Amino acid sequence: MGKLFSRTQVGRFELQHRVVLAPLTRMRTDPGNVPGDLMVEYYTQRATEGGLLITDATAVSPLGIAYVDAPGIYTEEQVRGWKRVIEAVHAKGARIFLQMWHAGRQAHPANTGGITPVAPSALRSLEHAAIRDDSGQIAEAELIVPRPLEKAEIPGIVDQFRHGAELAKRAGFDGIELHSANGYLFEQFLLDGTNHRDDEYGGSIENRARFLFDTLDAVVSVWGAGRVAVRLSPSGTYGTMSDSNPHATFGYVADRLNQYDLAYVHVIEPRIRGIVEQETTDVDVTSKDIRRIYKGTIIAAGGFTGESAEQIVTDGHADLVAFGRMFISNPDLPERLRTGAPLTRYDRSTFYGGDARGYTDYTSRADAVAA
């Protein structure tokens, strides 16, 4: 594992290794979508000297929350909660980026105070939302037909991201990542399967990408160069997503991103489509395809093992690799991969919502030996 554990640069920061904590929706906030003690412990456990963590998807408004108990970045209480997480992570010598998010049509009225979700077009996703039912338990619920955004409303959502970026900076994050993947609002605008608009936010690839780049301009104006990133899922289908020509669409996006001095572009490999692992095909868009166009730092994500992570970095198709499921059950994952130590198997039933079980009760090898 030589290359995976070499130093690298991400934006303004030098990292000591290339194993990244992927952004994961764990649904463990305190009331008010505020990071609490559990989240402080969770991130602290996974922080390593010179490593990089990316947070849970974090909504910029109540209307942007897709899942009950997901965090936000739109209130002062949320800023205070995140500040505690950041201070604990920094104390261990790690860096942490906030993934900023708006769910669009993936939101549900049960999580938005009864407000109908918004989207580029009135097309319903066939996925399910995680809500709290009448008994207080987390349950699945079908999504509804969203309300198409009026053109005049779109700058207001851009401003929500700008405000969220300002709050994130005040909280002490090292940078932010725009979540333009997994069937959420940016991707709903970007792909022609979900964007049927006939104004300047629809039709051509340039128009469909306008909302993303308007927002990118806004958050870069807050953070400056080298502190902003973008996540893409060029072959994703989660959220009932589709595009008639993903190579053209994401080729355009990758080329435009060269105009920004980003910290990184985060690419989900086609083997993972939302939460499902599948075979790849020739029509899929991979990190290798993005690398041919985008000249900056790339983080690849999607079902990697230590060996496949080492390979993609050695081949030069990505610079770092984000791990999700195996980082859940192995809080000391970088050290285990570096030494070839056995990995603890994750429990999928504890991924979303709940308490410490399956969240902060996994032990590192050092803790196990000490016990």
Q: Among all residues, which ones are annotated catalytic?
A: 184
Q: Which of 250, 304, 311 is nearest to 20 (CA)?
A: 304
Q: Rounded to 10 degrees, what is the CA torsion of 301, 302, 308, 310?
A: 10
Q: Which of 332, 338, 339, 337 is nearest to 368 (CA)?
A: 332
Q: Rounded to 10 degrees, what is the CA torsion of 240, 244, 248, 253?
A: -30
With beta carbons less than 8 A apart as the criterion, state whether 343 and 324 touch: no
Give dist(CA 195, CA 308) in Å, integer: 35
With beta carbons less than 8 A apart as the criterion, state whether 258 and 296 touch: yes
Which amino acid is present at 135? Answer: S
Exposed (0-12), middle (13-18) or buried (19+): which is 328, by Cβ within 10 Å?
A: buried
